[in-house]
Amino acid sequence: MSFNKNLSCQTYLHKDFFRMIHTITATEFIHQSHDTLIIDVRSPQEFIQGHIPGAKNIALFSDDERAIIGTLYKQQGKDRAILQGLQLVGPKLADFIIAVQGLTDKKTVFIYCWRGGMRSSSFAWLLHTYGYEVFLLQGGYKAFRNFALQAPSKKLDLIVVSGKTGTGKTILLYDFHREGKQVIDLEGLACHKGSVFGGLGQTQPTQEQFENNVALLLDQLKSDEPTWIEDESRKIGKIIIPAGLWDQMRQAPIFFIEKTKQKRMDLLMQEYGLFTTEDLLHALQGIEKHIGSQRYLQAQTLLQNNDRISFCSMLIDYYDQAYNHSLIRRQKQLKSNSHSDKISL
């Protein structure tokens, strides 16, 4: 009888111990984690490759440690790998708590690893022991990626903002956003302004991270309200627009912006005037085969002579030609689209 009482007490304590650790789906995880610390416990390289937007990386194992454990698992089995993992993690436990405290003063955290397995569960146990309420992502980052890959198929009421280089399409999107309109800034998400010079001063995310960023934004948009998006090529720098969203962009009504060449040149001078001649010359190499050797040498000379006004004029002429060719390819769509509008600024 005494043994049974002790067993009941142990069972009660076990349930109470895990009472504040909740396992939730990817959708629940995304919707409930706003303004709360999200911890990605995967290795640094896994995190760089792609993570849930807003998450902070507190790696349970370094990249080298993860490789060691993975090798042990394959060669000597699960038990040996777990033992090695405990030996590596043990000295870091206090540091993990300190790291979390440095990131939030709240007592609620959201945690995930790759598959929602031992790494996130172990970290959840540690934080719960220290008094945190923990939410675990069921299926881990892999489940979030499934969500992210499906997100671009969400049906939206898109309106495409189009116009030649230097017409201020991105600026118009910013204005719309300030007015409370729904906006998708693909160039902002891709950290690239679209042209061969668009990557100056910016570092693009991985393709995977771009898809994650897009997915989280799309999840927040209302399907029954207009969403403004800038006209883009399929590729923005090295980033490829997901197929589901790209297909909707090709079918959406178009809102054209028109500006004088002088106004467009002024805008380009503002955007790229602060970059060094060396930076611009390096970027110019990206269109050498498209503009031909003669114009390429002419553009080089203009930059080397610091004649940036003439350089911008030449650049606009080149991109206008490319834009007109693109416009011809889409002529059938434009003719059948009764909702296309123009605005001159």
Is 113 assigned a catalytic role?
A: yes
Amino acid at 134: V
Conformation bin of residue 201: beta by default, left when phi > 0, alpha when psi is -120 to 50 = left
Q: How far apart are CA 148 and CA 74, in angstroms?
A: 30
Output the six-digit token pair for 23.
């396992």
Q: Write the CB contacts of 330 (distance below 8 Å, at least 6 apart in sequence).
A: 250
Classify the phi-psi angles of 237: left when phi > 0, otherwise alpha if psi is within -120 to 50, otherwise beta: left
How many whole angstroms separate alpha carbon 157 and alpha carbon 295? 42
Please name the residue ranges forming H helices in the chain.
2-17, 26-32, 44-49, 63-76, 78-89, 93-103, 118-129, 140-150, 169-178, 186-190, 207-220, 243-251, 261-272, 277-284, 288-291, 293-304, 308-329, 331-336
Residue for token pair 């923005």: 236
Please choose, from the candidates 38, 46, 90, the residue with its C-alpha nearest in 3D space to the C-alpha of residue 64. Answer: 46
Q: Which residues contact 13 (CB under 8 A, 6 or more apart)?
A: none
Quick check: 196 and 289 in contact, CB under 8 A?
no
* Marked catalytic residue, from 9, 113, 191, 312: 113
CA 167 to each of CA 230, 260, 295, 296: distance values in angstroms, whole numbers, following the listed order: 12, 8, 24, 24
Eight-state DSSP code of residue 134: E
List active site positions: 113
